[in-house]
């Protein structure tokens, strides 16, 4: 479903942040990309999601190369086929929970009222219905990440990419979010790719890729 082929990345033309990285992700996979800070894992994720472009190599989503798409097409890709959840920059501060979830729909020029039931269903599913009219600033970190995941799910993307989704949470909230991701993966068959430096959280995935100094060292199947 998502194929990274010989991708290298440098920002300054000297130091390679990613070196000839390749990996394949199948539909329905729950993948963790693990590595220390500065290992290149977030760069790999952003390249996989079309947020950044590789210096060398290609990225294929459902067989289509997305590495050199213009910014406008990448934006359309992000709101239709890929859901994103970051450690930060997830929720618009002046919109309530429901409006935040609807944001990708509005940007896709669709009518919000047509998605009313779907939003309610996702909010129920992620147990955030009581916060429907609440502003993000009034929510805890874990609740905010649930809303961010809901926003990622509203367009029914084939894959959700998460960059340190629990990096800003306490251990109980992090555990809660990881169980939620497993639930989404198993019940909705949504492909999930997360990058993390936390071994415990990484262990929730079915596949784990280790990355060090920009190179993917190995991958392991987690049982």
**Interface with another protein by CB under 8 A: which residues?**
11, 46, 51-53, 71-72, 75-76, 78-80, 84, 86, 89-95, 99, 102-104, 106-108, 112, 151, 155
Q: Which two tokens stand for residue 62?
A: 């459902």
Using CA atoms, how far residue 115 sits from 41, 98, 118, 149, in Å, is 34, 11, 5, 16
Min dist. Cβ of residue 151 to another protein (A): 7
Task: With beta carbons less than 8 A apart as the criterion, state whether 205 and 166 touch.
Answer: no
Nearer to another protein, 207 or 214 (CB): 214
Using DSSP bridges, classify how beta strands 159-163 and 16-25 pair: parallel, antiparallel or unpaired.
unpaired
91 vs 122, beta carbon nearer another protein: 91
Which C-beta is closer to another protein: that of 65 or that of 107?
Answer: 107
Instruction: Report the distance separating Cα 121 and Cα 177, nearest Å.
Output: 18
Strand, coil or helix: what is 139?
A: coil
- Quote the CA–CA distance of 137 and 91 in Å, as a whole number: 9
Bridging pattern class, strands 207-212 and 30-34: parallel
Cβ closest to another protein, residue 194 vs residue 207 = 194
Cβ 199 to another protein shortest distance, Å: 26
| Residue 27 Rama label (left phi>0; alpha psi -120 to 50; beta) | beta
CB of 17 to another protein, least distance (A): 11
Question: At its nearest, how many Å lie between another protein and the CB of residue 192?
Answer: 17
Whole-number Å distance between alpha carbons of 81 and 74: 10
In this complex, which beta carbon is closest to another protein, that of residue 26 or of residue 68? 68
Closest approach of Cβ 206 to another protein, in Å? 25
Q: Give the nearer residue to another protein in terms of CB position, either 86 or 209.
A: 86
Least spacing, CB of residue 95 vs another protein, in Å:
5
With contact defined as beta carbons under 8 Å apart, do 134 and 162 qualify?
no
């Amino acid at each position: 479903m998502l194929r990274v082929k010989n991708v290298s990345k440098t920002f300054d033309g000297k130091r390679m942040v990613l070196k000839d990285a390749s990996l394949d992700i199948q539909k329905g996979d729950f993948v963790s990309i693990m590595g220390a800070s500065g290992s290149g894992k977030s760069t790999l994720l952003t390249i996989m999601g079309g947020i950044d472009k590789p210096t060398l190599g290609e990225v294929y989503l459902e067989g289509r190369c997305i590495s050199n798409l213009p910014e406008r097409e990448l934006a359309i890709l992000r709101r239709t086929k890929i859901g994103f959840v970051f450690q930060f920059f997830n929720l618009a501060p002046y919109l309530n929970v429901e409006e935040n979830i609807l944001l990708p729909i509005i940007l896709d020029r669709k009518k919000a009222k047509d998605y009313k039931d779907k939003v309610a269903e996702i909010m129920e599913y992620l147990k955030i219905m009581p916060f429907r009219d609440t502003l993000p600033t009034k929510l805890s970190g874990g609740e905010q990440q649930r809303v961010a995941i809901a926003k990622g799910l509203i367009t029914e993307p084939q894959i959700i990419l998460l960059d340190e989704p629990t990096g800003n949470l306490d251990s109980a909230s992090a555990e809660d979010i990881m169980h939620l991701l497993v639930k989404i993966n198993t019940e909705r068959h949504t492909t999930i790719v997360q990058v993390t430096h936390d071994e415990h959280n990484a262990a929730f995935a079915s596949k784990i890729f280790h990355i060090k100094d920009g190179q993917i060292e190995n991958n392991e199947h987690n049982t």
